Amino acid sequence: MVIKLLEPHSKIPLYQQIAEQVRQHVASVELGPGDKLPTVRQLAQSLGVNQNTVLRAYLILEQETVIASKRGVGSVITTNSDDPAIIAARQRYLSNIISNDIIKVLSLGYSSEEAEAAFYLHLARWREDKQAAAEKLVGRSAVKSDNDTILIVGSHDIALNILVDLLKKHSYEVGVTNAGSLGGLIALQEERAHLAGIHLLDEETGEYNYPYVKRILPGHEVAIVHLAYRTQGLMFVRGNPKQIKGLADLSRPEVTFVNRQQGSGTRVLLDTRLHQLGISSLEINGYERELDTHLAVGSSIARGEADTGLGIEASARSCELDFLPLLKERYDLVMLMADYKSKLLSPLLDMVTSHEFRGIMDKVGGYDISETGKTILINT
């Protein structure tokens, strides 16, 4: 565990800064159950603070049941402990946090839908950071499935994440693999998925999705369900220090870019626009660095690893970045007709048009849900 240098002139007391950094390490799974923290003396010396400051931070974390002090061992992480007493205490503490925060948010005049949308945005970011950290330790694993699990393969999207979270909240099993739009259509072709999430711009026709569906799934009856229009643009840290005003600025030598993976709709969009502008990928510093999701790109920029990247507005909001909108694109759910008519996908299709889903999406930002749920049946 690495505690960053504290900010002595901050309004936040030093002991609270220490406690918060430990919480962040636990949330990102850099610290797990049983991991040992530095002793009070060790941490105080490394930070150059009084031992009582560290002790106070540890006492707060112990009251929250984030850590526990064990004789002869020291302070260790207790998150996810099997001890029933710790589990019960953590649940009470979690309930109090949520309750207090809801009261605070509503008292400030925010609607319950706005609060729920903000919650899902930030939850999506933390879940992805946690998953990425776990994958570094054990490697990427395939989604496990059974006959009751809806398998989704395709392009990463926050609206889709929210849809999946709502389904899981209602006890439906869903597995999602972020493999890009083309990867989603290929998974349908190979019968490895029940539906694909795609947003593919065809450069020749200027049309979204349909040309690719016809090319990759010829001779099939297909249902295309519109999920949402979303805004794509460039993300950068607050204040736009590199003064990025459009895609043409990506060729500036002092600008560092972070890209999406090949086969993703965002990568197809970028390459199409660069071709139209006459910009070679060789001119772009960082073009070869690829990440699998919009949130991964946003998090990379937020950490200072790149100056900018192409992504959706909802991702910029989640990662607390500034956003330069460039265009609106359509994100669709594609499925073979047999799956479209199946009982398995019925709850998902109902959720797409539900007031619950639309109420949240209306507040997330960066999405247009005016045609959400509109379905086209085609024979390719």
Average pLDDT over residues 206-225: 94
Closest CA to 131 of 265, 295, 258: 295
Residue 101 pLDDT exceeds 90: no
Q: Residue 9 domain-assigned?
A: yes
What mean pLDDT value characterizes the chain?
88
Q: Residue 371 domain-assigned?
A: yes
Instruction: Give the pLDDT band of residue 233 (cuts 50, 70, 90).
Output: very high
Closest CA to 334 of 138, 185, 126: 185
Residue 225 pLDDT exceeds 70: yes
User: 353 and 210: one domain?
Assistant: yes
The pLDDT value recorded for residue 139 is 46
Q: Residue 285 domain-assigned?
A: yes
User: 159 and 44: one domain?
Assistant: no
The token duo for 126 is 């933390």
Which range among 84-88, 148-152, 249-253, 273-277 shows the weakest confidence by mean pLDDT? 84-88
User: 291 and 167: one domain?
Assistant: yes
Average pLDDT over residues 59-78: 84
Instruction: Give the pLDDT band of residue 370 (cuts 50, 70, 90).
Output: very high
Amino acid at residue number 23: R
pLDDT tens-digit series, residues 247-275: 999 999 999 999 999 888 899 999 999 99
Average pLDDT over residues 151-180: 93
The pLDDT value recorded for residue 344 is 96
User: 224 and 334: one domain?
Assistant: yes
Residue 130 pLDDT exceeds 70: no
Residue 143 pLDDT exceeds 60: no
pLDDT tens-digit series, residues 334-354: 999 999 999 999 999 999 999
User: 223 and 294: one domain?
Assistant: yes
Closest CA to 321 of 242, 229, 228: 242
Instruction: Give the pLDDT band of residue 10 (cuts 50, 70, 90).
Output: confident
Paired residues of 225 in beta bridges: 333, 375
User: 83 and 155: one domain?
Assistant: no
- Measure the CA dihedral 77/83/86/92, to 10°: 130
User: 231 and 373: one domain?
Assistant: yes
Q: Residue 102 domain-assigned?
A: no
The pLDDT value recorded for residue 80 is 60
Residue 138 pLDDT exceeds 50: no
Which run of H or of E encompasses 204?
none
Which stretches of the chain are DSSP H helices? Answer: 14-27, 40-47, 51-63, 84-107, 112-138, 158-169, 180-189, 210-216, 265-277, 294-302, 313-318, 337-340, 346-352, 355-364
Q: Residue 127 domain-assigned?
A: no
User: 39 and 160: one domain?
Assistant: no
The CATH number linked to 90 is 1.10.10.10
User: 92 and 171: one domain?
Assistant: no
Among residues 96, 121, 137, which one ends one of the domains? 96
User: 283 and 373: one domain?
Assistant: yes
Q: Residue 44 domain-assigned?
A: yes
Query: How many domains does the chain contain in total?
Result: 2
Average pLDDT over residues 42-59: 93
User: 257 and 327: one domain?
Assistant: yes
The pLDDT value recorded for residue 137 is 45
| Full residue range of the structural domain in which residue 71 is found | 1-96
Among residues 63, 96, 129, which one ends one of the domains? 96
The pLDDT value recorded for residue 133 is 54
Average pLDDT over residues 58-77: 85
User: 31 and 163: one domain?
Assistant: no
Q: Residue 119 domain-assigned?
A: no
Residue 190 pLDDT exceeds 80: yes
Among residues 96, 127, 160, which one ends one of the domains? 96
Average pLDDT over residues 209-216: 95
The CATH number linked to 168 is 3.40.190.290
Higher-confidence residue of 65 and 125: namely 65
Burial of 67 (0-12, 13-18, 19+ CB in 10 A): buried
The token duo for 104 is 């605070």
Q: Give CA–CA dist 357/346, Å, rounded.
A: 15
Residue 82 pLDDT exceeds 80: no
Average pLDDT over residues 211-227: 95
Percent of the chain with pLDDT over 90: 62
Q: Residue 225 domain-assigned?
A: yes
Q: Give CA–CA dist 76/35, Å, rounded.
A: 5
Q: Give CA–CA dist 252/234, Å, rounded.
A: 15
